[in-house]
Amino acid sequence: MIFDGYSKSKQYQGFTTIDLLTFVATVVAAIVITVPILMKQSSKRAQDVATSKAEEISKSLFEEVQVQIRSIEQSQNARSMASVSSHALSWEGVVSVDPWGNPYHYRVLRDIYGKPTHLVVWSVGSNSRQDTLENDFDVISGMVKFTGDDIGYIRNL
């Protein structure tokens, strides 16, 4: 008789229910741990893309705003900058699309004399709602405190 590792009274039965439950619990635990990490990385990646695209848009708009400012200064003579109402580029508006399908917003901040000081480009983020309040656009310091999931870039003019 050849010995095959099993006795005739006990044949190999396969995996027990406890073995299968242990395996399933391990797989579920691994999924529960890794999915939030992957989602966070995906969200961070989208935020990074939105920030870099806001910077690119600000560079493009910066050049247009600079040309516009020079044109206004040359044609203004005795008029104040605030009295000039027709411009090739609006002082604020929307351009392009962020990673969440929302438009990027831009605004040229001006000082109390109407002189453009800063260009701000921002995305409302994944919640599609502007969380940054109008009061958060500080013209004097040129700072913008983006709140919620809003993401943006500010450039001195």
Give residue-wise pLDDT tens across range 27-82. 998 888 888 887 777 777 877 787 788 778 877 777 777 777 666 666 665 455 44
Amino acid identity of residue 145, one-letter, is K
Q: Return the ∠ at Cα 51 (arms to 126 and 97), rounded to 5°.
A: 55
Q: Return the ∠ at Cα 70 (arms to 152 and 151), rounded to 5°.
A: 0
Give residue-wise pLDDT tens across range 96-144. 888 888 888 888 888 788 788 888 888 888 888 888 887 777 666 666 7
Q: What is the pLDDT of residue 8?
A: 54
- Output DSSP code: residue 4: -
Q: What is the pLDDT of residue 155?
A: 83
Q: Is 148 exposed, middle or buried (0-12, 13-18, 19+ CB in 10 A)?
A: middle
Q: What is the pLDDT of residue 24?
A: 92
> Residue ranges of the domains in the chain?
17-156
**Rg of the chain (C-alpha set):** 30
* pLDDT for 90 beyond 60: yes
Q: How far apart are CA 135 and CA 68, in angstroms?
A: 26
